């Protein structure tokens, strides 16, 4: 049914472990109850998912490295009856806080624009996502639905659990779920499975390419979670048979997938049960609104984008990341693309800074490419001059800082809000 690193687990083994857990007194009557799980073990997570889906119970997914007390607090806040925690799958009853809900998958939002909120999606909605995701893959290159998924994303994230593992199991394909943290192992695993469909986030690709000194080739790869930088997109396009990029949210699950990605902002066409509302011109992008089949209200994503002439969604970042320079709007990804084209730049992030006159200003944090910088260190003035030749003056960074590493959150994502708070 699945492989975890190098160890196969049959359906019977997964079911047996789930049955053992659900023989416990606190898990016997699960209909309408919420069970929280915080586990590093994919076989346990998948077994619990199938058990709750069949028994009309609900599941709260928590990040696997959540400390016990924090997990208990979150489970209590969500109205859970039980918490499954740790590698030994210890059970903790939560008395007096049970909340009855229809069978659902529950997750806390990331909280990047405020306090995390509890998101609930019915199992019916999850099944619809699985069905339409597989239909989308079936229309991609020949073999995509039968190739071996290698999933580097934790199953506590819906990208890893639903788009990666559950869709593969539904197709009758055995996914390989990697929990090993060593990038050298990641590289060897990809090389050991020639016809694979790799699920990962951009920073993992960067690590693997660096670890293999650029020699690693992918068969097919699907990225999500954060936007592909221009330079990494070009590397990936040159080092893979097929590069795909998908877009989703906690509220909706997978929204769209670019089956033949032709640029770092392209996240493709929506799945069949989804309708998108977005601007239709790159000059005036707007908020992406997602409408799910059978639901009246749209989901306002607070993401910025537009639909191109082919109907492909172009994702430009968070609306909250827009920089307002004296009333003129700056999209960080546009400035990043220009800076990344400089031959002496390896990586960059552009974010909002403060200015005593204009209120907001454009700031850039840059990692110089020491391999190509043979004529001396690149300077801030050189970067600004480069930008002035390609951008209006209000989009040119007023401050350029050179760093060895760009700060990321625990999931490997760059959070511009975090960076601007660090700079304030």
> Taking a C-beta distance cutoff of 8 angstroms, is the pair 321, 360 a contact?
no
The top-scoring range by mean pLDDT among 100-109, 126-135, 318-327 is 126-135
Average pLDDT rounded to a whole number, residues 76-83: 93
d(CA 112, CA 302): 11
Q: Name all contacts of 91-97 with Cβ < 8 Å and 24+ positions apart.
A: 91/21, 91/24, 91/26, 91/27, 93/26
d(CA 52, CA 169): 17
The separation between CA 64 and the C-alpha centre of its own chain, rounded to angstroms, equals 16
What would the two tokens of residue 284 be? 């005036």
> What sign results for the dihedral spanned by CA atoms 130, 133, 135, 141?
negative
pLDDT(288) > 90: yes
Please, what is the Cα angle at 258 between 255 and 260, to 5 degrees?
165
- pLDDT tens track for 291-332: 999 888 999 999 999 999 999 999 988 888 889 887 788 989
Q: Break the chain into its structural domains and give their ranges.
A: 2-108, 124-320, 323-423
d(CA 18, CA 22): 6
The torsion region of residue 89 among left (phi > 0), alpha (psi -120 to 50) and beta comes to left
Please, what is the Cα angle at 271 between 267 and 275, to 5 degrees?
90
**Percent above pLDDT 90 for the chain:** 63
CATH class, domain 124-320, is alpha beta
Q: Helix count (H) and strand count (E) of the chain?
A: 12, 24
Average pLDDT rounded to a whole number, residues 340-345: 88
Domains 124-320 and 323-423 fall in the same CATH topology:
no
DSSP three-state, residue 184: helix
Name beta bridge partners: 106: 60, 120
Average pLDDT rounded to a whole number, residues 34-57: 95
Helix (H) or strand (E) holding 323: strand 323-325
**pLDDT confidence band for 374 (50 / 70 / 90):** very low
CATH number for the segment(s) 2-108: 3.40.50.980
**pLDDT confidence band for 160 (50 / 70 / 90):** very high
> Taking a C-beta distance cutoff of 8 angstroms, is the pair 269, 309 a contact?
no
d(CA 151, CA 79): 30
What would the two tokens of residue 179 be? 């929990």
Cβ neighbours, 10 Å, residue 274: 21
- pLDDT tens track for 240-264: 999 999 999 999 999 999 998 889 9
- Identify the pLDDT of residue 373: 47
d(CA 356, CA 44): 54
Domain 323-423 bears CATH identifier 3.50.50.60 = no
> Taking a C-beta distance cutoff of 8 angstroms, is the pair 87, 63 a contact?
no
**pLDDT confidence band for 214 (50 / 70 / 90):** confident
The torsion region of residue 292 among left (phi > 0), alpha (psi -120 to 50) and beta comes to beta
């Amino acid at each position: 049914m699945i492989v975890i690193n190098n160890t196969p687990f049959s359906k019977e083994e997964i079911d047996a472990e789930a049955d053992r857990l659900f023989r416990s007194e606190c898990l016997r009557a699960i209909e309408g109850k919420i069970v929280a799980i915080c586990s590093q073990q994919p076989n346990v997570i998948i077994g619990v998912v199938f058990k709750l889906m069949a028994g009309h119970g609900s599941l709260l997914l928590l990040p696997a490295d959540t400390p016990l007390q924090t997990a208990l607090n979150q489970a209590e806040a969500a109205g859970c009856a039980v918490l499954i925690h740790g590698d030994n799958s210890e059970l903790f009853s939560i008395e007096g806080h049970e909340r009855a809900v229809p069978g659902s998958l529950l997750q806390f939002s990331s909280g990047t624009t405020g306090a995390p909120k509890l998101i609930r999606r019915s199992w019916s909605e999850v099944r619809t996502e699985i069905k339409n995701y597989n239909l989308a893959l079936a229309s991609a290159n020949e073999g995509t639905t039968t190739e071996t998924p290698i999933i580097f994303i934790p199953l506590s994230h819906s990208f890893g659990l639903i788009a990666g593992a559950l869709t593969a199991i539904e197709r009758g394909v055995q996914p390989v779920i990697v929990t090993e943290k060593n990038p050298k192992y990641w590289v060897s695993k990809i090389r050991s499975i020639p016809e694979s469909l790799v699920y990962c986030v951009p920073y993992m690709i960067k690590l693997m390419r660096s670890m293999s000194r650029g020699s690693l080739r992918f068969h097919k790869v699907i990225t999500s979670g954060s936007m592909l930088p221009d330079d990494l997109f070009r590397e990936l396009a040159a080092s893979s048979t097929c590069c795909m990029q998908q877009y989703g949210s906690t509220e909706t699950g997978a929204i769209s997938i670019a089956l033949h990605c032709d640029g770092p902002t392209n996240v493709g066409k929506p799945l069949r049960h989804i309708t998108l509302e977005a601007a239709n011109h790159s000059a005036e992008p707007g908020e992406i609104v997602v409408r799910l089949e059978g639901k009246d209200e749209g989901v306002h994503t607070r993401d910025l984008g537009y639909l191109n002439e082919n109907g492909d969604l172009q994702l430009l970042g968070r609306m909250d990341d827009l920089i307002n320079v004296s009333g003129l709007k700056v999209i960080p990804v546009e400035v990043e693309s220009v800076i990344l084209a400089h031959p002496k730049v390896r990586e960059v992030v552009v974010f909002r800074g403060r200015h005593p006159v204009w209120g907001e200003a454009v700031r850039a944090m840059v990692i110089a490419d020491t391999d190509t910088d043979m004529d001396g260190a690149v300077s801030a003035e050189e970067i600004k001059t480069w930008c002035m030749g390609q951008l209006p003056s209000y989009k040119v960074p007023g401050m350029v800082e050179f760093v060895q590493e760009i700060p990321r959150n625990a999931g490997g994502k760059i959070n511009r809000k975090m960076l601007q708070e660090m700079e304030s």
